[in-house]
Amino acid sequence: MSVLSELDVGESGILEALELPESVQNHLMHMGFVPDALVTVLRRAPTGDPTVYGVDGMEIALRRETAAALQMRANESEASQSGTDESDPNLLEAAR
């Protein structure tokens, strides 16, 4: 498990928990940051803060300190895709 602020641009993860004051937590949940939501890192400001995240079809910028309070787990579909061996002839044949 990691936190949202540790993901690199292009990576995604599944939101596990929000460790924020209730008012901030409710605000983010209304924007789509709910448990089990897929969150993707879209881009970072040149200075590294804030970062734009994609969640539920929306783009939302969060400061690093807020993103550090969002607990994430690995996106199973990304993990399974990165674990495939593209040189496997059976996979190549199946893709045709």
Domain range spanning residue 53?
2-95
Helix (H, G, I), strand (E, B) or coil at 77: helix
Name the residue type at position 46: P
Ramachandran angles phi, psi of 55, nearest 5°: -150, 130
Taking the model in full, what pTM does it have? 0.76
Domain holding 70: CATH number? 2.30.30.90
pLDDT tens-place string over residues 47-95: 989 999 999 899 999 999 999 999 999 887 665 555 544 445 554 445 4
pLDDT in tens, 32-41: 999 999 999 9
Question: What is the tally of structural domains in the chain?
Answer: 1
